[in-house]
Amino acid sequence: MNHHPTNEVLLKHASGLLTDSLGLIVACHIDMCESCCKTYKQYEALAAEMVVESSGEQVSPELFDRMMASLDQVREIEADPATVPGLPKPLWRLVPQGLDQLNWKGMFKSVQTFDVETGDPRYVGRFYKILAGSKLPQHSHRGNEITLVLKGSFSDEMGRYNEGDFIVANETTEHQPVAGMEEDCICFAVLDAPIRFSGLQGLILNPFMAK
Amino acid sequence: MEPNLNELMTRIANDRDRQAFSQLFNNIAPKLKAFLRKAGLSSENAEEIIQESLFTVWDRAAQFNSSKASATTWIYTIARNKKIDWLRKQGRQPMTSSELWPDLPDESAEIDPDSDLNLATVRKLLDHLTIEQRQVVYKTFFEAKSQSEIALDLDVPLGTVKSRLRLAMKKFENFMSVN
């Protein structure tokens, strides 16, 4: 793995500021990348420290009384989503059928896609499958796209991307990806929804420029 | 003196100690409230989320593992996650906390159970920043402000905010790579 989110993105995520599809794909990378996971946990501690350092705001006395009175009541616990082998944990609820059962679509056998319903109006969540050794046509991007390699590998003019790599593309990116020969390459990507091509502001985008 | 949250958590987990819980509440609830209010929630909604969070702390105290995280971090992550799930129920966010912050693999980031190392390290980390850098970090990540809002707040040019944040992140990065 050579391509990671920046430290600023990890700290933003730890601070709870990436709450849409951007947070989802960052979480997927953290789930796959031991080194980012470790750094991320430090940033969680840092975010927590900022919270306890704050001067605080008075809570109403009723809150305390109410809680103490019902401390021992039995409360419902939400069930965790079922395990889906081969997928990072953050995708388990959205893609319970797993990668093998996806309803792939596409005009060409060499590259197929599956759009996942995330409920996020700003971004599309999309799986790509590129057949081993296949070449995509040269293309540029109309908006911003963050790609995470789930399986296999691909290369373009800028480099080679393996499992877990986190790749940022935007309007200035023009490339021709080629899947590795060893197996089909499967990626998960988050891209600006068509209605909002210039959706990401520089503020959010810049931290996403991969290391 | 500040109560030791790790100790309180241990008493809650082992003895279901209500006294420990009330001390923990008094210490942490106002901090959580400030955190939630900064995110734009009303006082009433913030308290609703604090209630859910601290009930979870009580209910799941046995799952707290001081060798994995400090009590402060553990409680913070519960409140952060409850906030997202609350916003999702209101139709204001698309993702659940289990998508954004699933339980992470256990092997990473073991910390020394006795020294609350994680927190100590992090304090040291914040102490490496200049006051100006610290201010920008706090406003960016705790108050969730944009760089132009921060420039207005502090009455400095946008470029100054950017460079302070960049320098602070550089310090964090260097620190992370040696630890």
**pLDDT at residue B106, rounded to an integer:** 52
The 8 Å CB, 24+ separation contacts for A69-74 are A71/B18, A71/B21, A71/B55, A71/B58
Is the confidence at residue A53, as pLDDT, over 70? yes
**pLDDT at residue A91, rounded to an integer:** 96
Could you tell me if A86 lies within 8 Å of chain B, comparing CB atoms? no
Put simply, the answer to whether A120 touches B94 (Cβ < 8 Å) is yes
Q: Is A56 left (phi over 0), alpha (psi -120 to 50) or beta?
A: left
Is the confidence at residue A48, as pLDDT, over 50? yes
Sheet holding A166-169, edge to edge: A111-116, A123-130, A185-192, A145-151, A166-169
**pLDDT at residue B1, rounded to an integer:** 53
- For the ranges A13-22, A83-92, A197-206, B45-54, the lowest mean pLDDT is seen at A197-206
User: Which residue in chain B has the smallest CA separation from A44?
Assistant: B73
Is the confidence at residue A204, as pLDDT, over 70? no
Q: What percent of chain A has pLDDT over 70?
A: 91
Is the confidence at residue A200, as pLDDT, over 50? no
**pLDDT at residue B119, rounded to an integer:** 65
**pLDDT at residue A193, rounded to an integer:** 66
Could you tell me if A48 lies within 8 Å of chain B, comparing CB atoms? yes
Report whether B2 contacts B123 (CB < 8 A). Answer: no
Report whether B35 contacts A52 (CB < 8 A). Answer: no
- Which of helix, strand or coil describes residue B43? helix
Instruction: Give mean pLDDT, residues A104-123.
Output: 89
**pLDDT at residue A37, rounded to an integer:** 93
Q: What percent of chain A has pLDDT over 90?
A: 68
pTM: 0.90
Q: Which of B12, B18, B82, B104 to mutate to test the interface with A (most CBs of A within 10 A)?
A: B104
pLDDT of chain B, 179 residues: tens digit per residue? 567 899 999 999 999 999 999 999 999 999 999 999 998 999 999 999 999 999 999 999 999 988 778 899 999 999 999 999 999 999 888 999 999 999 765 544 455 444 445 667 777 888 889 999 999 999 999 999 999 999 999 999 999 999 999 999 999 998 887 76
**pLDDT at residue A183, rounded to an integer:** 95
Report whether B75 contacts B28 (CB < 8 A). Answer: yes
Which is more confident, A158 or B21? B21
Could you tell me if A12 lies within 8 Å of chain B, comparing CB atoms? yes
Query: If you count them, how many residues does chain B have?
Result: 179
Q: What is the pLDDT of residues B142-169, one digit of tens each?
A: 999 999 999 999 999 999 999 999 999 9
Is the confidence at residue A128, as pLDDT, over 50? yes
**pLDDT at residue A205, rounded to an integer:** 41
Query: What's the token pair of residue A140?
Result: 């540029």
**pLDDT at residue B118, rounded to an integer:** 61
The rounded mean pLDDT for chain A is: 87
**pLDDT at residue B14, rounded to an integer:** 94
**What are the two backbone dihedrals, phi and then psi, of residue A167, each rounded to the nearest 5 degrees?**
-120, 130
Put simply, the answer to whether B83 touches A16 (Cβ < 8 Å) is yes
Is the confidence at residue A203, as pLDDT, over 70? no
**pLDDT at residue B105, rounded to an integer:** 56
Put simply, the answer to whether A24 touches B95 (Cβ < 8 Å) is yes
Confidence of residue A106 (pLDDT cuts 50, 70, 90): confident
Which of A19, A43, A56 faces B84 most closely, judged by CB atoms?
A: A19
Instruction: Give mean pLDDT, residues A152-171.
Output: 92
